[in-house]
Structure 1
Amino acid sequence: MKKLFIPLLFAFLFPVSFSCSSMRFGSYNLTEADAAAAIREMLSLGAKESNLSGAFSKEAVMATLFPESMRKTLNTLNQLGLTGEIDRFTTTLGTAAEKTATASVPIFISGINNMKFTDAMRIIKNGGTSATDYLRSSVGDSLRRAITPAMKTALQEYKLNEQWEKIIKPAQVLVGNKLNLDLANLMAGMVSEKMFQQLEAKEKEVRTTSSARTTTLLQKVFSKKWQ
């Protein structure tokens, strides 16, 4: 009986067995190459479908420019009669940020396509937003730097640097050199973070919703729970 049981056990387990370089589920054999290609495809889809309209509200912009420790400074600026100028500035800056986000899509796709993997299989198995997290940790800084020139162009187009200088002078008197004055770098960081949030949302959708897996590769890789 034991002699018969062992071969049957192996026959049952074989379809879902895997090695370090591949994993098998039924008739499909997931390789490291397929795993990496599926991750790139999923993240590129998220970048192409990104819609950041309304993502750069006054509150979000002010939180980027003025950290929590500087909120008292904001109240003082309002008391100095700069409320209207701050509102106009943040609204225009939000528009410039949206334009930069649109211009940054090819930059993100290029970064995704050039991303190097150490273990794509592990990313597939880990679930959640592990693919986006990997992109953020591996090329996040370089993507932010690549976005900065586009942000500078938008700032110049909307003449925001001049407005920023006017608003920030009273703040500098109050806080000295504690404030980061590099508007282009600050806003490039914000645009980059909003893009990553869009990628996270798309990754969750692809991993959990069958209709979001719009290609054969995404269906093969993300329709199964790899262990």
Structure 2
Amino acid sequence: MDKIKSGKGWMVCIILLVGCTQQQFSQTVGDLLGSANTPLTTEEVGRGLKEALINGISKGAGKASALDGYFLNPKIKIPFPPEAKKVENTLRDIGLGGEVDKFIKTLNRGAEEAAKEAKPIFVAAIKSMTIEDAWGILKGEQDAATQYLKRTTSTQLTQKFQPIIHNALQKVSATKYYGDLVTRYNKIPLVKKVNPDLDAYATEKAIDGLFLLIAEEEANIRANPVARTTELLKKVFGQRN
């Protein structure tokens, strides 16, 4: 397979993004082979797929890292740790609801700050995709790219996120405050112990929220392939002549 007509390249890419089989893809490409005014190489098709993913990933990461990206998004807002819900309720009952709200806001500000570090990690993972990785994504589930990124970036994201969130929470003594509250609560007889490691909780929730946004963007790419257009994508995703 050497060249594909640029005027019909949109057919190939739409099939790619809805998850066709390799046989179906090969048959379709075969139908499109022949003389072309502006040839499109298979290398460009691969680059176009990666570029589409990078554009979508960048958008998702950008949403998360914006001011209130977590705090005002109910889908990914980080709440008071669920296992410490009784602690939160007790604080609110004694008139410290404002402090609890401030604490929650701080959690989310830390996540927003950490999310700024996500994009280069994602981009590096996408650029290092092999042919096998690409086919696994193209033939996989609707969140196949998101799952690929989880497998290849979660460790790096945790390493990047945790110190940033830690520093953000330390600035307002949130980590110490939370740790003191939970430690005191755990001393109450017969209560279920809770985890005082706030950094680990906030980091995990921040990464979960980021991947939720990434999955939404992946779904968008698959459903609306022409929506992410650069010069290469216009060629690969087939702007009709």
Confirm or deny that 1:142 pairs with 2:149. no
Aligned residue in 1 for 2:215 = 200
Matched letter for residue 77 of structure 1 = L
Structure 2 counterpart of 1:124, from 138, 156, 159:
138
Gaps of 5+ in 1: 1-14
Give 1:62-211 correspondences, 5 Å limit.
62=79, 65-67=81-83, 70-114=84-128, 118-126=132-140, 128-174=142-188, 178-211=193-226
**Identity value in percent:** 27
CA distance in 1, matches of 2:99, 2:131: 47
Matched letter for residue 163 of structure 1 = Y
Aligned residue in 2 for 1:9 = none
TM-score (norm 2): 0.65
Structure 1 counterpart of 2:63, from 40, 51, 57:
51
Structure 1 counterpart of 2:78, from 61, 79, 87:
61
Preserved CA contact (<8 Å) 2:87 2:185: yes
CA 1:125/1:115 → structure 2, altered by over 3 Å: closer, same or farther? Answer: closer
CA 1:54/1:45 → structure 2, altered by over 3 Å: closer, same or farther? Answer: same
How far residue 125 of structure 1 moved from its aligned partner, in angstroms, is 2.9
Structure with greater helix share of residues: 1
Give 1:10-21 correspondences, 5 Å limit.
none
CA distance in 1, matches of 2:179, 2:214: 34
TM-score (norm 1): 0.69
How far residue 77 of structure 1 moved from its aligned partner, in angstroms, is 3.3
CA distance in 2, matches of 1:36, 1:188: 33
Give 1:16-35 correspondences, 5 Å limit.
23=26, 24-25=28-29, 26-27=32-33
How far residue 90 of structure 1 moved from its aligned partner, in angstroms, is 0.9
Aligned residue in 2 for 1:10 = none
CA distance in 2, matches of 1:35, 1:180: 48
CA distance in 1, matches of 2:196, 2:87: 14
CA 1:159/1:76 → structure 2, altered by over 3 Å: closer, same or farther? Answer: closer
CA distance in 2, matches of 1:106, 1:117: 21
How far residue 47 of structure 1 moved from its aligned partner, in angstroms, is 3.4
Question: Of the two structures, which has the highest relative contact order with CA contacts closer than 8 Å and spacing of 6 or more?
Answer: 2
